[in-house]
Amino acid sequence: MHALRRYLDQTPDGTPVIVGGDFNAPAGDRLFRVLRPRLRDSSPERPLGLSNTIVNEFPFARIDQVWIGPSFRAHAVLARKTEHSDHRLVVCDLAFTESVH
């Protein structure tokens, strides 16, 4: 996570940024504080149903997440059952809200 933060620190302000994946930590974990204030968790903005991702058959935690920068607004965020993973798939419908200068 600190390597990701170093990368973000080298990215010019105003650059649209989306980071997603399996973070192996539940939503709200203090690990994510290194991403703020540059990014925010998209799921609380527009959740559609249950957003937990692990395990696929009976999801009890949300370790797969999509984090977005200020250039984006979430319209819908949801988790869908999959066939070939023990994780549910995160679907995040985003709108670009500002141009890059």
pLDDT at 48 (0 to 100): 87
pLDDT at 98 (0 to 100): 73
- Number of neighbouring beta carbons within 10 Å of residue 66: 19
Summarize pLDDT for 45-82 with one digit per residue, the tens. 988 888 999 999 999 999 999 999 999 999 999 999 99
Multiple choice CATH, 2-96, 3.60.10.10, 1.10.10.10, 3.30.300.30, 3.40.50.2000: 3.60.10.10
pLDDT at 101 (0 to 100): 47
Query: Where do the structural domains in the chain lie, given as residue ranges?
Result: 2-96
The residue-averaged pLDDT of 6-25 equals: 95
Assign residue 49 a region: left if phi > 0, alpha if psi is -120 to 50, beta otherwise? Answer: left
- At residue 37 the predicted structure's pLDDT band, cuts being 50, 70 and 90, is confident
pLDDT at 50 (0 to 100): 83
- Using only C-alpha atoms, the chain has a radius of gyration, in whole angstroms, of 14
- The answer to whether residue 99 scores a pLDDT higher than 80 is no
Q: Yes or no: say if 51 and 62 are a contact pair by the CB < 8 Å rule.
A: yes
